[in-house]
Structure 1
């Protein structure tokens, strides 16, 4: 971190605030140890740790178990299959993994936890028992796998991600762990992320709720449930993974595909999520700051990984206790400390590479009825529609090959923006999902739905 560009080096006051926050969390949460890292601008800019054993503080190379953050890795593998054209997210599971009791559920529903499947497996607590007790998918799902009708609501499901891991194996013809290493871990340089612990690694501990004593938690191989929570990793590896989730990497997933993972695919569940769930990523709003990431826990370990795209900041927290320290909330706090103390320095303004005259004649002021909007072309070729001086729906559009633009988010996501031209080639109006935008409020020379009063604008008298 000593070779960081000047604009990425954190102030001493910010580094102290980060250390103070994890120190308070370790002391009050009574965690045997906690390790943390912060990344911004594509680099790890801070690492810190606290431990109950003097002189044995973990560094960014020490492994902890990361629990359900494993689900995000599994989701990356599924999105890779989609991007290769080997499956569609709307496909029913049965098409690629036949013979399960959940074949009607779509791949997208499994990724977003809207398949209606049970939260846990039947029988004994799967996180503290050997994976061989659930050697078949039927033992993971049980005789009654559904709790809700598929597609009706968000209901977090660990067995759902077991099915996704088995789906990866069925399509690739290789074990989940082998596919993960070859297609994600090795390309991203995540050498310390493994399915089995590798020294140096922390031991998992349960701390007594009413006394300052502790005992070791059992370490189980999760078997078929591995895609839902098996992985071990380090703060350095997870910080790099967080940067990938923010930016994409052509060797693994494009920026567009990781953006899709960070986009809400199911609504928030009251009392559980504050924003919703994407494709293998949890989403929340923390103090007005939109974050994407995932929490994780297994007996003996808690973990949190969160990133703010707008602030270009990510934080990772790992601890080796079953409960007490809220690792996920602590990671959110670390993101906030950096984002608020050292706001992101914007990139220099640069002009568009080449302004297309066809695009230039659609920018400027437009009116939807009497509501004014501004349409501008950004340097990255995106059209931005924004309300002017009043409330209204803002939107961003990416050019399509047929001369139209496709909505990227919000109300107009997936909708088509089209410039309708007169016989002489001049733009008459914009059509946005049947809404007509005109150069003047209720322009009499444009096909305004319902027509325009022939007497035009006038006063009361």
Structure 2
């Protein structure tokens, strides 16, 4: 069975490691972001195989030394070598490239940024990009085809499946409702939802938001498109055995974010999809953002995905509306134009006040500090098995937002391209503080 939200992890440790770049004036072999990116990709990959590394060392040459914990078996170790080392090596190479493309002290022109996107297209990128610097649009456009059979090109108005960027929206709804005193992040699930069993009743919203609740990664058995109503979803999630005592560890959970969608409905009294449109997308002027099944995109302006896996026409244009197998954790469809509008709206206080915004960024987008030219930076991404992927980089102090979306994501690393474009836009290198 395929897990269609594969790699759709927006969690900060993975996204930030891919964006953090080398120290200024250091040669690429010293670039710590390349190592961090490779380690992140490798750890995420082996986790899907049921493995955990107690020690991991990767060199700039691609050599790897790893020791596994008690989860190791020879069969799993061999599978990790075949399955996880190739993407690790790709992330390493692209991480080094991200450090090499920026001319420090010289913000890139629109022409230079366009050339970089076109160069990515020559290396397999098919998708769209929008770049806003200091509050002004610098460049937007696309490369490759949104629909190969019809010969339709990607551009900034093309809509893409954005994978787990949906989780950022779900989290924003929780913070919005807290700002309105309709709930609090220290509220417990047993106080917010019916039927919560004793072992999960004391789990807080904060623990679910940060993947520290102990829930399993999935609650479906057939993938993202499994038909499932809310009651069945909650019943399945509550029946799962917790992976660890809440608050004692971290493990990525799509199921946890489905619970958060149910909490949004309970607190607001509005169906979750309607809440997203009325309280998040409309205020942010995201007129071409919605969910699978929405009828808001003009004919030919929703991309077709190109990867090994397919479902139906392999486009959100004809996919069914998300069931509660996916609700709250995926199913988002948007354009790069709208994704940079989202970033601008969050910064401008359109969705919640400044204190709530700062807490949202700190607690949802990451606990580690990324900086570029002395300014804090944030990043998040999503991906699925059908060719779609998206990534967003934000430098609020410079009112700089970069969005990348792809419909052949398996052919190119979106996060590496995002790192290049953020750095080039500001003429500075992103640094991850120790």
Length-normalised TM-score, structure 1 = 0.61
How far has the Cα of 1:12 moved from its partner? 10
Alignment match of 2:351 (pick from 244, 252, 258): 252
Name whichever structure is richer in strand by fraction. Answer: 1
Are 1:152 and 2:281 counterparts? no
How far has the Cα of 1:322 moved from its partner? 4.8
Using the TM superposition, name which of 165-174 and 191-200 deviates more.
191-200
How far has the Cα of 1:280 moved from its partner? 5.6
Which residue in 2 is equivalent to 1:45?
A: 138
Which residue in 2 is equivalent to 1:317?
A: 404
Q: SS of the residue aligned with 1:35?
A: strand
Question: Aligned partners of 2:371 and 2:410: how far apart in 1?
Answer: 22
Are 1:171 and 2:257 counterparts? no
Alignment match of 1:18 (pick from 113, 127, 133): 113
Alignment match of 1:291 (pick from 369, 377, 393): 377
Alignment match of 1:279 (pick from 364, 370, 379): 364
* CA distance 1:133–1:82, change in 2 (3 Å): closer
How far has the Cα of 1:108 moved from its partner? 0.8
Which residue in 2 is equivalent to 1:242?
A: 343
Mapping 1:43-82, distance limit 5 Å: 43-52=136-145, 56-82=152-178
Are 1:330 and 2:417 counterparts? yes
Question: Aligned partners of 1:221 and 1:297: how far apart in 2?
Answer: 18
* Conserved 8 A contact 1:166-1:176: yes
Which residue in 2 is equivalent to 1:217?
A: 314
Name whichever structure is richer in helix by fraction. Answer: 2
Which residue in 2 is equivalent to 1:262?
A: 361
How far has the Cα of 1:26 moved from its partner? 2.7
* Conserved 8 A contact 1:113-1:154: yes
How far has the Cα of 1:286 moved from its partner? 7.6
Q: SS of the residue aligned with 1:123?
A: coil
Structure 1, gaps ≥5 residues long:
1-10, 210-214, 264-277, 344-409, 411-461
Could you list the structure 1 runs, at least 4 aligned residues long, displaced by more than 4 angstroms after superposition.
52-55, 280-284, 286-290
* Conserved 8 A contact 2:394-2:401: yes
Question: Aligned partners of 1:40 and 1:108: how far apart in 2?
Answer: 33
Are 1:184 and 2:280 counterparts? yes
* Conserved 8 A contact 2:193-2:263: yes
Which residue in 2 is equivalent to 1:141?
A: 237
* CA distance 1:341–1:155, change in 2 (3 Å): closer
| Structure label with greater radius of gyration | 1
Which residue in 2 is equivalent to 1:204?
A: 304
* Conserved 8 A contact 1:131-1:223: yes
Question: Aligned partners of 1:282 and 1:236: how far apart in 2?
Answer: 27
Are 1:229 and 2:330 counterparts? yes
* Conserved 8 A contact 2:339-2:403: yes
Question: Aligned partners of 1:208 and 1:67: how far apart in 2?
Answer: 17
* CA distance 1:42–1:162, change in 2 (3 Å): same
* Conserved 8 A contact 2:260-2:328: yes
Structure 2, gaps ≥5 residues long:
1-105
How far has the Cα of 1:203 moved from its partner? 3.3
* CA distance 1:208–1:67, change in 2 (3 Å): closer
How far has the Cα of 1:204 moved from its partner? 3.2
Question: How many residues end up aligned between the 2 structures?
Answer: 311
* CA distance 1:310–1:135, change in 2 (3 Å): same
* Conserved 8 A contact 2:108-2:425: no
* Conserved 8 A contact 2:227-2:323: yes
Are 1:109 and 2:207 counterparts? yes
Alignment match of 1:35 (pick from 128, 149, 153): 128
Per-residue Cα deviation, 1:332-353 (whole angstroms, up to 9, x for no partner): 221111111699xxxxxxxxxx
Question: Aligned partners of 1:13 and 1:332: how far apart in 2?
Answer: 13
Q: CA RMSD in A?
A: 3.2
Which residue in 1 is equivalent to 2:185?
A: 89
How far has the Cα of 1:179 moved from its partner? 1.1
By relative contact order (CA 8 Å, sep 6+), the higher-ranking structure is 2
